[in-house]
Structure 1
Amino acid sequence: MSILTFAFCGTELGALPSGALFWPAHDLLCVSDLHLGKSERIARRGGTLLPPYETAATLTRLEQAIDLTRPKTVVCLGDSFDDLAAGEALPDRDRDWLFRLQAGREWIWIEGNHDPAPLDLAGTHMAELRLAPLTFRHIAEQGGLGEISGHYHPKAAITLRGRHISRPCFLRSADRVILPAFGAYTGGLKCSDPVLKGLMDASAVALLTGPQITPLPYGKVR
């Protein structure tokens, strides 16, 4: 699996095709919007029954990213659980899986809008993490220089050789990076949405996930 490295606010970051972000200077791996337990939450609220495999699929991808980068620190950038009850209802096998991934490294849970309070899980629970020159938070803020965030699940649509393709993507501008949703069963917000356009500047680039990272000027994706 190739990692696309890029300069950002005086440091170097690496975008993984899976949607994870790696900061080599701090051996730090960052993922956003795992939404663990989404199928359980939908079933609990009387919605469409989905195959209960999304947590295993997400943890498998997370384990692969950890095996690739061997981080000392993992930052989960909010909405790690589809709601607080989904986190509390996490099956023992998945809790044990998480504990194995956490072993021997620092693990930081950033609060999201789906999981705004700490859960009974190992790791440090924080509203945001400041590690100069970067700030890790769930939702982007105006004027957030050096900001790493998630929340919006950005997706880029392009036409390639006559085929319409839509993929989760990173959005990178001079002052911020917005991560794609890492979890299975997560939807996405089009890059053309006014909310995302309002957060990106003229230098913005979309980094499409997939078999490899594909960088495209923000203005050429929808």
Structure 2
Amino acid sequence: MNGYNFTLNGTDLTALGSGALYWPAQNLLCVSDLHFGKSERRARRGQPPLPPYETRDTLSRLEADIAKTDARMIVCLGDSFDDSAAVGALLDDEKLWIASLQAGRRWIWIEGNHDPGPVNLGGAHLTELCLQPLTFRHIARMGEKGEISGHYHPKVSLRLKGCHLSRPAFLIDKTRVILPAYGTYTGGVRSTDSCLQALMGPGAMAVLTGPVPRPAPMPR
């Protein structure tokens, strides 16, 4: 499997090159910040348009990760939709696609700041999920241990052998993991930003997404 293996709070996890996190012992796949419907929301608000293909592209990559891991439990870690109205704007074939991915699996939507309301697409809708010894929530909290979160869309820039590399990245320290955004149309916050510097402890590392996940010390 194309991933970087590490341990958090005594639990073996794998950061996949796609930006998904896999927990083998629970056969659980976690993704964050899908932001389905971003192009539709921008058009609805009169903002400069984006090609309306991001939901299908994100679903294609999610489907591939589910097939690769054969995960029986899927955790969507908040901001799965760009806003509440984007849920109703999904096309029928997109709703059917999501339903087909949910079939035979436990599917959990974690509440985010973009999508606080109920999601009428099957699965459970929770504020957070505790599966000892880990807790899944959208936004990290100071002082937590064994926490998996998203929200910040972390990105990392490195200079390797004279080349500049900038990619979404996992941020990992002794107490938490912050996932990169999984959605196709998502920006990011650099790891040097003060909010991420405050959250991540000394010795934190970054795992850059891509065909070959690249671990490196978290830039500070």
Q: Which residue number in structure 2 is paired with residue 45 of structure 1?
A: 45
Q: Which amino acid aligns with 2:74?
A: V
Instruction: Give the Cα separation in 1 of the matches to 2:30 and 2:49.
Output: 30
Instruction: Give the Cα separation in 1 of the matches to 2:103 and 2:194.
Output: 41
The Cα RMSD (Å) is: 0.8
Q: Which residue number in structure 1 is paired with residue 115 of structure 2?
A: 115
Q: Secondary structure at the match of 2:80?
A: coil
Q: Secondary structure at the match of 2:107?
A: strand
CA deviation after TM superposition for structure 1 residue 203, in Å: 2.1
CA deviation after TM superposition for structure 1 residue 162, in Å: 2.0
Instruction: List gaps (5 residues or longer) in structure 1.
Output: none
Q: Which residue number in structure 2 is paired with residue 159 of structure 1?
A: 159
Q: Deviations over 1:89-138 (max 9, x none)?
A: 11101000000110100000000000001121100000000000000000
Q: Which amino acid aligns with 2:126?
A: M
Q: Deviations over 1:33-64 (max 9, x none)?
A: 00000000000000011100100110000001
Q: Which amino acid aligns with 1:156?
A: V
Q: Secondary structure at the match of 2:94?
A: helix
Q: Secondary structure at the match of 1:169?
A: strand
CA deviation after TM superposition for structure 1 residue 161, in Å: 2.5
Equivalent residues, number: 220
Q: Which residue number in structure 2 is paired with residue 199 of structure 1?
A: 199
Alignment of 1:172-211 (within 5 A): 172-211=172-211
TM-score (norm 1): 0.97
Q: Which residue number in structure 1 is paired with residue 146 of structure 2?
A: 146
Q: Secondary structure at the match of 1:25?
A: helix
TM-score (norm 2): 0.98
Instruction: Give the Cα separation in 2 of the matches to 1:25 and 1:115.
Output: 29
